[in-house]
Structure 1
Amino acid sequence: MAHTYVITGASRGLGLEFCNQLAARGDNVIAGVRDPSRVTLPKGVRVEPLDLTQDASIFAFAKALSGTTIDVLINNAGIYINHGTLAEFASEDLAASFRVNTIAPFVLLKALRLSMAGGLKRVVHITSELGSVSLNNGGWSYAYCASKAALNQIHRTISLELGRDGFTCVAMHPGWVRTDMGGPDAPLLPPESVRDMIATIGRFTQADNGRYIERTGQTLPW
């Protein structure tokens, strides 16, 4: 049975690979991208403009999907600003990272919540093990790590609220993937990472609500 997926950050990297694999197996895919005129996505994928730095764009995106029952929301979009030392740190980098990595996923979930009420009610936040406080060994972007840790905390909190309505909300680390963000030294290719994530999402039950996991379903420490 085909399901309807909404994917953010779908113009490249993991988001594009989600579109490729889900469309290939016959699911209905809605891709949110900043500029639809500049992307090439698989045949049948519905493309809508979505600028995650602007609440107005997020709510316009949700309005465009009004009347569509959404089964799975994959909050994939993110930015990485590579300032790994205190001397390099700039407050505007932190603000920009929180806007896209932390705030936008929950504004979008708020906007799409009613459209998900009749579907599978699965929400996947693509996070990172760099958002784990207990695994932090330093040397990474202050802004990225902080924004992903905040994403994990808000995810955990909202899962407690939406879980009462039958939602399954999961924060998922895709692994270190060879994308523009992950860089050329990453050991995983996007098809492998996304294949594993899709399989894991397909196995979700409500008992998974609130979890922080890696792509094959193993629990990560907060």
Structure 2
Amino acid sequence: MTKIVVLTGAGISAESGIKTFRDADGLWEGHDVMEVASPQGWDNDPENVLEFYNQRRKQLLTVEPNPAHYALAQLEEEYDVQIITQNVDDLHERAGSSNVLHLHGELLKVRSTFDEDLIMDWRNDLKLGDFCEHNHQLRPHIVWFGEAVPMFPIACDITREADIVLIIGTSLQVYPAAALIDFAREDAGIYFIDPAPSLYHRPDVTIISEKAAVGVPSLVQQLLTGKKNTE
């Protein structure tokens, strides 16, 4: 079965009402990013960090997947689809996508500060004093600035196997995620969907200058129709 790998970023979730990672002024919801998304910020003021993610978690539970998320799930009717996302929301899963790899963690999960492999689902507020089974504080299951991205090698291997690569809602400017496109095979078909595409110009990239909620369903229908016509 033809394998499609989808690389998604903040742009696809923004159309569901989730604010992008940081605004033009370098702030995230009014916070300096390093205060709420770095080990140093956590060490300096863990209560502030917990409250920040508590608010993000609450917001996530009020929004819904948009047509782009649902269209990607529909692709599984005819293709082997793997989504690799920089987003920490669960909108891909809620839309029905079966295979989603989160490069930067998940907002609806927390992990132990003692054992990073001890991860649990979490939908309520997380507070100081919420401990794991080893009696250590729980923290958001988010990859912060300065931390390793443990899923990146797996994402590279997945991208190498792709027959088709879709890039949606990401400028491919944040590393290491930005390097994933370099692992695509030379003969892979690459589509870049963005209303203001800034991807470095490669002759093998088909650019679709649309918002995700418009461009993704359109491309998905083309791919599904093309697949059925070749059978």
TM-score by length of 2: 0.42
Q: Which has the higher strand share?
A: 2
Q: Which has the higher helix share?
A: 1
* Greater gyration radius: 2
Larger RCO: 1 or 2 (CA < 8 Å, sep 6+) = 2
